[in-house]
Amino acid sequence: MNHLLDEELIKLVLSGENEAFAVLVQRYEKQVFSLAYRLCANYDEAADLAQEAFIQVYSVLVKYEIDRPFFPWLYRVAYNTCINVLRKKPPNITNLEDFTAVLSQPEDDTIPEVSYDRQETKAFIEKSIADLPEKYKEPVILRYLENLSYQQIADRMDVPVSTIETRLYRGRLLLQEKLGKYTGKRKIK
């Protein structure tokens, strides 16, 4: 079954062949899992989110229009599923505490040496991205994770390309505020 096209697999699923869905999951699990991980910055939570996302895809598969590309559709369903779950989640206060150490370090005028613990730094950046407001987070993730152009992101999100440009600019401005110690102190006025 592995050689079959997405569309062929979907037809099989809709005709009751569940095994075909397993092939689709294997085909896209990394991308969906990565998306989920970027949205929550927590490995275990990402596994739950990604699982929920695939189950939702399965549940609404009959709505997929077979003559359109499957992956963007799947990605959209997965994204919406993850966001809906995350919206219901109360803010996780304990996770923030993990980063107070980093946050409370005194700023100085020099660009930091690579003195921060690598893992800590990575976790902090991941968390900062996951904590971005939704409208900035989605284009940032699509830009970096899927390496999409502004036009492609605009198509995916169904907003004008100028809006995407603005959101990607502002989203990264927010990150720069948060991550200033890693990028230097200069602020864009």
Partner 1 sequence: MNCKTVSERIYSFIDGQLTEEEAQAFLAHIEECPSCAALFADAQILDGLIAETIVPVEPPVGFADAVMACLPQAKIVPFPSQKSKFFKWGAFVAAAAIALSFGLTNIFSNNAAQPGINLAENLSNNEQIVNEREPGLEITVTDPATENNEGNTESQTPDVVAQNSASNKEDNQTGSSSIGLPKAASGTQGVGNFNQRLLAAHQGVDTLNPEVNSTGKYVTYYVKLDGKLQLWQVALSGDTEPVLLSEEDLAENEGLIQAHKYGEWKADNYDNCGLFAAASDGSRGAISSPMDGGSLWLTDANGANAQAFYAKGGGNIILWAPNNGSFVFNDNQNNLYVAYPEEGIVLYVLSGNVKNLSWADSKNLVLEIVEPSASNSAVYVVTLP
Residues that bind partner 1 (CB under 8 A): 16, 18, 21-22, 25-26, 29-31, 33-34, 37-38, 43, 46-48, 50-52, 54-56, 58-60, 62-63, 80, 84, 88, 122, 125-126, 129, 140-141, 143-145, 149-150, 165, 168-169, 172, 175-176, 179, 182-184, 186, 188-189
Closest CA to 101 of 119, 80, 74: 119
- Residue spans of alpha helices (H) in the chain: 6-14, 18-40, 43-59, 70-88, 93-97, 100-104, 118-130, 134-145, 150-157, 161-178, 180-183
Give the nearer residue to partner 1 in terms of CB position, either 8 or 27.
27
Q: Cβ contacts of residue 128 below 8 Å, gap of 6+?
A: 175, 178, 179
Give the nearer residue to partner 1 in terms of CB position, either 7 or 146.
146
Shortest Cβ 105–partner 1 spacing (Å): 17
Contact 21, 13 (CB under 8 A): yes
Shortest Cβ 52–partner 1 spacing (Å): 5
Describe the crossing of helices 118-130 and 18-40 by its angle, rounded to 10 degrees. 100
Residue 46 CA to residue 42 CA, distance in Å, equals: 6
Give the nearer residue to partner 1 in terms of CB position, either 7 or 152.
152
Give the nearer residue to partner 1 in terms of CB position, either 47 or 101.
47
Give the nearer residue to partner 1 in terms of CB position, either 25 or 102.
25
Shortest Cβ 115–partner 1 spacing (Å): 15
Shortest Cβ 148–partner 1 spacing (Å): 10
Give the nearer residue to partner 1 in terms of CB position, either 100 or 119.
119
Return the SS3 of 148: coil
Burial class of residue 39 (count of CB atoms within 10 Å of its CB; 0-12, 13-18, 19+): buried
Shortest Cβ 30–partner 1 spacing (Å): 6
Shortest Cβ 5–partner 1 spacing (Å): 18
